[in-house]
């Protein structure tokens, strides 16, 4: 399969803020040690500073570390034969013949509660994590051009590109899957993304 276009992810605002805070705290402690504690004779500050850096890093580092891994590994590839995507794990793929529709939220910078890309297939329904995906408009145009998904349906806040004769089936599946009852994890993930 020839690669048509590869779409990568960016880091979220929360990840960038936590990474900046982590680097600032570690930088200030390192500068303090270099300019103050190394010039003081008999100073025992190094173990305490290392302990503070470890505690601070343990609190601030996980989110930026996960985001950096996602930024480095995550991508969605539109190919002549179908879609391929990868997040944390291995590559997953779907051929165009398996896809009845692809849905995604309308572009809105203020809306960050659910940016998943919805894949409606002949045998089910699955998601591609879409939060932070760059060039979403170009992604939609590539899907429309290479997937022969020309019909546009609007379901709630989502735009669904679907096969012309499968639009009713796609709309029904999307209506049942698009707004599942929120659980605690989705609630807190939405609050964190809005940060």
* 21-65: pLDDT as tens digits: 888 888 888 887 778 777 777 777 777 778 877 887 787 788 888
Average pLDDT, the chain: 76
Judged against a pLDDT cut of 50, whether residue 192 lies above it is answered with: no
Sort 147 into a burial class: Cβ within 10 Å, 0-12 / 13-18 / 19+: buried
Domain ranges of the chain: 13-69, 80-194
The predicted pLDDT at position 191 comes to 47
Judged against a pLDDT cut of 80, whether residue 80 lies above it is answered with: yes
The percentage of residues in the chain with a pLDDT greater than 90, rounded to a whole number, is 0
The predicted pLDDT at position 190 comes to 52
Question: Cα-flanking dihedrals φ and ψ of residue 187, to 5°?
Answer: -60, -50
Sort 80 into a burial class: Cβ within 10 Å, 0-12 / 13-18 / 19+: exposed
- Are 156 and 111 within 8 A, CB to CB? no
The predicted pLDDT at position 194 comes to 44
Q: Is the pTM of the predicted complex or chain greater than 0.75?
A: no
Judged against a pLDDT cut of 60, whether residue 185 lies above it is answered with: no
- Are 117 and 76 within 8 A, CB to CB? yes
Q: What is the pLDDT of residues 107-154, one digit of tens each?
A: 665 555 557 787 888 777 787 876 677 787 888 888 888 877 777 877
Residue 111: count of CB within 10 angstroms of its CB: 12
Low-confidence winner among 9-13, 87-91, 184-188 (lowest mean pLDDT)? 184-188
- Are 159 and 103 within 8 A, CB to CB? yes
The predicted pLDDT at position 195 comes to 41
């Amino acid at each position: 399969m020839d690669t048509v276009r590869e779409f990568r992810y960016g880091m979220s605002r929360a990840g960038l803020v936590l990474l900046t805070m982590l680097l600032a705290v570690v930088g200030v402690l390192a500068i303090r040690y270099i300019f103050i504690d190394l010039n003081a004779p008999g100073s025992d500050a190094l173990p305490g500073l290392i302990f503070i850096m470890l505690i601070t890093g343990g609190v601030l580092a996980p989110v930026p570390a996960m985001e950096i891994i996602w930024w480095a590994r995550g991508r969605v590839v539109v190919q002549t034969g179908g879609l391929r995507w990868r997040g944390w794990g291995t590559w997953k793929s779907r051929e165009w013949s398996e896809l009845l529709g692809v849905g995604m939220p309308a572009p809105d910078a203020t809306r960050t509660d659910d940016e998943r890309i919805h894949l409606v297939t002949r045998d089910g329904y699955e998601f591609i994590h879409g939060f932070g995906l760059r060039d979403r408009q170009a992604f939609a145009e590539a899907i429309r051009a290479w997937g022969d998904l020309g019909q546009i349906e609007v379901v709630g806040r989502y735009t669904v590109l679907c096969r012309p004769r499968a639009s009713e089936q796609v709309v029904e599946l999307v209506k049942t899957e698009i707004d599942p009852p929120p659980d605690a994890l989705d609630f807190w993930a939405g609050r964190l993304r809005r940060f």
